Amino acid sequence: MKVLEAVGLTKVYPIGERRVAVVNEVSLAVAHGEFLVVEGESGSGKSTLLALLSGLDRPNSGRIILEGTDITDLPEDRLAPLRNGTFGFVFQAFHLVPSLTALENVAFPAELKGDAAARRKTGDLLARVGLGDRGGNFPHQLSGGEKQRVAICRALINEPRIIFADEPTGNLDSRNGRAVFDLLLELRRERSVTLVLVTHNPGIAGTADRVVTLQDGRITGDRPHVS
């Protein structure tokens, strides 16, 4: 069953006097519960494709279908709740609010929805990822691995159906990167969510259900993972 579909997505950016299609006529479907990796060299369009699929950016042409509903041209007041509830996001750069504690960073999306249980859910998630005693710490008081675990909790707080992760281990050393990635997969399985992850790490790509390869904004490979 398809949970998300892209049909002919194109995104063009002006570069000097030229217009370059960073994503060029990309079509793909993501199944419910699937772990899909998007791989490719730097500049291949991976992050731009993720931004389009998740509603963080809009295509110049093409359609994005979420569970049978075309969301491509939704106004911002209808798209924002999707980004805050249906989707969860984990980024390479963490994107934690420096003036908020770990607990406040995680709780914020739930409080934005008016969830009265936001703080309780946050405490449960932080404990689940081994940060139960770090909720009162600010981002500058956390290690890189701890910051990314906080970011994963924030992505999960509203129980999204799809998690988008853009190089989530890219700013971590290999040990912390592996620990964070394993945690993300474990939580994804526990919560039966769909995971769409951008990476250039072949070790991560090798664990996916399916791997899509981008080159110069086009899909050049789409293969199931074979153990």
CA-based nearest residue to 145, from 115, 119, 170:
170
Q: Among positive and negative, which fits the CA dihedral 95, 100, 102, 103?
A: negative
Q: Which residue has the tokens 């701890």?
A: 146
Q: Dump pLDDT digits (tens) for 118-160.
A: 999 999 999 999 999 999 999 999 999 999 999 999 999 999 9
Instruction: Please state, in angstroms and rounded to a whole number, the distance separating the CA atoms of residues 109 and 155.
Output: 9
Q: What is the CA radius of gyration of the chain?
A: 17
**What amino acid is encoded at 143 in this protein?**
S
**Which residues neighbour 162 within 8 Å (Cβ) at sequence distance 6 or greater?**
3, 4, 30, 54, 86, 87, 88, 193, 194, 195, 196
pLDDT of 195: 96
Tokens representing 189 are 């399985």
Instruction: Please state, in angstroms and rounded to a whole number, the distance separating the CA atoms of residues 118 and 27.
Output: 37
Tokens representing 191 are 């919560």
Beta bridge mates, 196: 36, 164
Would you list the domain boundaries of the chain? Answer: 33-58+73-224
Q: Dump pLDDT digits (tens) for 66-115.
A: 999 999 999 999 999 989 999 999 998 999 999 999 999 999 999 999 99
Mean confidence (pLDDT) of the chain = 92
Instruction: Please state, in angstroms and rounded to a whole number, the distance separating the CA atoms of residues 65 and 86.
Output: 13
**What amino acid is encoded at 133 in this protein?**
D
Q: Is the pTM of this model over 0.75?
A: yes
Percent of the chain with pLDDT over 90: 75
* CATH for the stretch 33-58+73-224: 3.40.50.300
Q: Dump pLDDT digits (tens) for 181-207.
A: 988 898 888 888 999 999 988 888 889
Cβ atoms 38, 198 nearer than 8 A? yes
Beta bridge mates, 7: 63
Q: Decide if pLDDT at 226 tops 60.
A: no
Q: Is 47 helix (H, G, I), strand (E, B) or coil?
A: helix
Tokens representing 187 are 């939580």
